[in-house]
Amino acid sequence: MEALKQIEGLIHAKWSIFKSILALVKLEAQLAGKSILPLLVSVGMFIMVLLTFWLLTCILAGYLIFLQFGNFLIALGAVFLLNLVLIGFLSGYLFHTLKNMSFSRTRAYFSGQMDARDDYQKKIKVANQAN
């Protein structure tokens, strides 16, 4: 019973995040004076075309490997390996980007670990070294 309550809470939290993001996108669209529907349709169509292109590329690569080696399992494994390598590369890039967006200096500043005066002195020192 406790697990069901936790799952319900998780679903409710995810749904509220989705609603908040949708409200933010709507507000941005209103501020820009535009409707949100064309944006959502465009993003959906872009994702659909991108997935279709990737599926077609995987099928073509698998077919070419099958023609080269004559074994279906080798072709399937090669395409699977290609997808794993791409997922690994993209997840590494994602983690690198998230690490750069972590705002560690901002958190340190607001938590009191970094004094504003020290930060100002560092900026002056860097500016003086540049001159």
Q: Of 110, 109, 111, whose CA–CA distance to 122 is shortest?
A: 109
Tokens linked to 73: 């399992």
Count CB-CB contacts under 10 A for residue 79: 19
Residue 6's domain comprises: 1-34
Phi, psi of 114, rounded to the nearest 5 degrees: -120, 125
The 10s digit of each residue's pLDDT in 25-49 is: 777 777 766 666 777 788 889 999 9
User: In this structure, are 65 and 122 located in the same domain?
Assistant: yes
User: In this structure, are 1 and 40 located in the same domain?
Assistant: no
User: In this structure, are 41 and 17 located in the same domain?
Assistant: no
The 10s digit of each residue's pLDDT in 45-64 is: 999 999 999 999 999 999 99
User: In this structure, are 49 and 108 located in the same domain?
Assistant: yes
Number of domains in the chain: 2
User: In this structure, are 85 and 23 located in the same domain?
Assistant: no
Phi, psi of 108, rounded to the nearest 5 degrees: -65, -40
User: In this structure, are 24 and 80 located in the same domain?
Assistant: no
Q: Provide the mean pLDDT of the chain.
A: 80
User: In this structure, are 66 and 124 located in the same domain?
Assistant: yes
pLDDT band at 118 (very low <50, low <70, confident <90, very high): low
- pTM, rounded to two decimals: 0.50
User: In this structure, are 98 and 42 located in the same domain?
Assistant: yes
Query: Which residues are CB-neighbours of 114 under 8 A, at least 6 positions away?
Result: 105, 108
Percent of the chain with pLDDT over 90: 33
CA-CA distance, 120 to 113, in Å (whole number)? 14
